[in-house]
Amino acid sequence: MVGGAAGIGHVHRRGALMDDLATMVCGCFSSNWDRNLVRANEWHITDESRVYKDYKEMAEKEGARADKIDFVCIVTPNDSHYEIAKAFLEQDIHIVCDKPLTYTLEQGEELARIAKERNLLFAVTYTYTGYAMIRQIRELVDRGELGELLYINAEYPQDWLLVGLFSDKSEQAMWRLDPAKSGPSLCTADIGTHLEGLIKMTTGLDPVRVLAKFDTYPRDLPLETNTTILAEYPGGLTATLWASQFAIGRECDIAIRIYGSKGSVEWEQQSAGVLKFTKLNQPTQILSAAREYLYPEARRLSRLPSGHPEGVFEAFGNIYRSFCEHLIARKTGTTPESFTYPTVEDGVVGMKFIKACVESNANNNQWVAL
């Protein structure tokens, strides 16, 4: 792992190790050497020579080993993803990188090109795509159970940034407020992009054009903390996306609702193991994770009997499981049962989405094509 000593790093680690398909053998967990060593010790990196001072040394030294790492997880602020991923791709090491993929669209496109040229796997951790019930939605959509898709509504309100600003100014909040580290967008890139990723995972569709309006509170921040997006998908399908970092009282309340000509679905992360499914003129069905009646593709993503709550660790675990199964299949010359993790190509679409939203907001909320 590169980065991860703070923030979301421990969730990556738990996700990667959850199904015993990977072990963690080396890292450069922090730009601060003391914190790096503390984390390496806590995470049982027993070989001190594999705790590295910086990612360049790690990529070069690991790349030269006969037993080099199979893949690296990149869990650093957005501005560094590109150079770190490139260094490891050039050593023929597969990648799992957090979102947004890069700082600029061009960087993302270059990473996708290098990964393709070198035939390397590259996952992007759009967390919420890993939930079992999100997979169930995709199966319902693909099997025509919702009919023609007519309208999508997705939202991600939260308040931790505002709370952080008014209480303890955390390191995490601080780099996100700096356009040099975060990019030209805060809310859209940080959490709006999860909505775009969720629509892709549930429908298989990429947006064609977007119209965005940004709001900023506290007013003196350089980047937006609330975003409202009207998006058009292939065939004229309309979606509305709302993400907010100043929605007081809301706690990572990501949700998606899809309405079709034959039925609809509604999923909310606060009850991640439940999916509301309604067929035209029928009572609403409450589907529950891990039950026999789910499609096998969704059922295989649960590790516990139904009724035991699963959460964000399992969602990460499912992305890593899918990625590791693909990688192991590649190494053993077999076919994986399923690999449905978000890829570098999805990450590039995410970057196009952010760029188009920034452009739309800056140009009096005009439609911008992706």
Ligand X SMILES: NC(=O)c1ccc[n+]([C@@H]2O[C@H](COP(=O)([O-])OP(=O)(O)OC[C@H]3O[C@@H](n4cnc5c(N)ncnc54)[C@H](O)[C@@H]3O)[C@@H](O)[C@H]2O)c1
Residues that bind ligand X (CB under 6 A): 2-9, 28, 30-32, 55, 75-78, 80, 98-99, 125, 127, 171-172, 175, 190
C-alpha torsion 95→98→103→105, nearest 10: 70
Q: Cα separation of 185 and 189, whole Å?
A: 6
Interhelix angle 81-89/105-117, rounded to 10 degrees, is 10
User: Of the two residues 53 and 308, which places its CB atom closer to ligand X in the complex?
Assistant: 53
Which CB, 30 or 185, lies closer to ligand X? 30
Judge contact between 158 and 253, C-beta under 8 A: yes
Distance CA(88)–CA(128), nearest Å, equals 26
Is residue 367 within 8 A of residue 238, CB to CB? The reply is no
Taking CB atoms, the residue at the shortest distance from ligand X is 7
**Nearest distance in Å: CB 189, ligand X:** 8
Smallest gap from Cβ 102 to ligand X, in A, equals 10
- CB closer to ligand X out of 242 and 277: 242
Rank residues 30 and 361 by Cβ distance to ligand X and give the closer one. Answer: 30
Structural element, H or E, at residue 276? strand 274-279
Q: How far is the CB of 42 from ligand X (least distance, A)?
A: 13
Q: How far is the CB of 13 from ligand X (least distance, A)?
A: 12
Q: How far apart are CA 282 and CA 274, in angstroms?
A: 18
Choice between 233 and 316, CB closer to ligand X? 316
- Whose structure tokens read 């679409």? 349
Relative to beta strand 255-260, strand 226-233 is unpaired
Measured from the CB atom, the residue of 4 and 260 that comes closer to ligand X is: 4
Q: How far is the CB of 8 from ligand X (least distance, A)?
A: 4
Tell the smallest beta-carbon distance from residue 273 to ligand X (Å).
Answer: 18
Is 84 within 8 Å of 2 (Cβ atoms)? yes
The residue (of 121 and 198) whose beta carbon lies closer to ligand X is 198
Residue 225 CB, nearest approach to ligand X (Å): 15
8 A C-beta contact, residue 74 and residue 98: yes
* CA angle centred on 104, ends 99 and 110, rounded to 5°: 90
Positive or negative: CA dihedral 312, 316, 322, 324 = negative
